[in-house]
Amino acid sequence: MATTAEILSRVATRPTWAEVSLANLRQNFRTVVKHAGAGVTVCAVVKADAYGHGAVECSHALESEGAKWLGVTSLDEAIPLREAGIDSRILLMTGFWRGEECEIVRLHLAPTVWEPWHIESLERAAASAGIRHAVHLKVDTGMGRLGVALAELPAVLNALSAAPHLVLEGLSTHLASSEIMDAPSVTEQERNFDEAERMVRKAGFDPSLIHMANTSALISRRETRKNMVRPGVALYGYYLPFQRAGREVTGGTLRLPVKPVLTWKTRILSLRNFAANQALGYGGTYVTKAPARVAVLPVGYADGYNRQLSNRGRVIVRDHYAPIVGSISMDLTLVDVTGIPGVDVGDEVIILGAHEGLSVDALEHARLANSSPYEILCNISKRVPRKYS
């Protein structure tokens, strides 16, 4: 009996897919490296399946482009990379769970630590393996999530001093509002981090990698680059809009010439003709104002197409914008193609991407959905196959 994979290789499957340009990813990495400047190591963040782009494929491309460090959330994201032959250093950015320490040592991963038990369990694992293992210490400078508070830092440093099989390789923190140019909290976090570094060095440690800058800080705050940066969404072609005094600011140095890596496409499944005053979709949230030609697309919120785009978003059909009409459902979306010449069943439709001067990008989706480009990209579901070029 044929396997599912063999059957799908012979027949046409549901025509909704994402095209991932590894060439654009490599170019974006080069752009980020140039912007970071000489002497700054770039830790390319590939967590959350490389923001929905495919962590293994993207990691291979980044490694081939010279990435020495990759950033993931946790051990379960690191294991597939090692199994795929990725040799770059891998930073576990949100620590680890009890019981994972031996695998972390075996796979030569760099865990982020901030609790005494992190240090104690890793010390036992490294001692058992007969090696010295590198760790990165995270300080909570004001984000209020993970990391050791300044008041508790001496106790953690004492634990590190008592762990001869561990090496403090890195010192890190995370900025809460790096895209807000006049946020006083960022300045306070910088001061707190400087104090943490002073305390660490006074205690006799000499971490070689100091890092706090994410994508937004990398672009807007040179002083936060230190000697390592952790860009994520910029690698995939986006960054958050910058703000000052509650208003968006653009241009000047607040620009990084990166290109979107992912294009999301589908095909027209069916075409329907409706008279005026016809309610469409669940709840009848859209009513035709005049006779309309409507295309049915085989994509919906189960694919990660945000329902907040209902009656607000648009797609690209035959070099024209076509508005979404009615509520996006689990598997289907309706778009108005009235007046677009030559539209037919099977026509390619761009859900997210650009063509011939037209563009519908993740920033547009994010604005309409009161979201962020991070969420838009990460939410593209696993049932949307990725095709790499």
3-state helix, strand, coil in the chain (%, to 5): 35, 25, 40
Phi/psi at 134 (nearest 5 deg)? Answer: -85, 140
State residue 181's pLDDT score.
Answer: 84
Total residue length of the chain: 389
Handedness of CA 265, 270, 271, 276 (dihedral sign): negative
In DSSP terms, 115 is beta-bridged to none
| DSSP-derived secondary structure letter, 180 | B
State residue 6's pLDDT score.
Answer: 60
State residue 8's pLDDT score.
Answer: 52
Phi/psi at 139 (nearest 5 deg)? Answer: -115, 135
Is-same-fold flag (22-249; 262-388)?
no
State residue 7's pLDDT score.
Answer: 55
Burial string for 321-338 (b: 16+ CB within 10 Å, else e) reads: ebebbbbbbebbbbbbbb
Phi/psi at 292 (nearest 5 deg)? Answer: -140, 150
Per-domain residue ranges for the chain?
A: 22-249, 262-388
In DSSP terms, 88 is beta-bridged to none
CA count, 13 A, side-chain hemisphere, 231: 31
State residue 252's pLDDT score.
Answer: 64
Q: Which of 34, 282, 382, 387 is catalytic?
A: 282
State residue 356's pLDDT score.
Answer: 93
What CATH number has the domain spanning 262-388?
2.40.37.10
Query: Is 382 considered catalytic here?
Result: no
State residue 244's pLDDT score.
Answer: 82
Query: Is 226 considered catalytic here?
Result: no
Give the residues of the chain that fall short of pLDDT 70: 1-12, 251-252
What CATH number has the domain spanning 22-249?
3.20.20.10
Percent of the chain predicted with pLDDT > 90: 90
State residue 5's pLDDT score.
Answer: 57
Q: Which of 47, 138, 226, 265 is catalytic?
A: 47
CA-based angle 209:215:217, to the nearest 5? 75
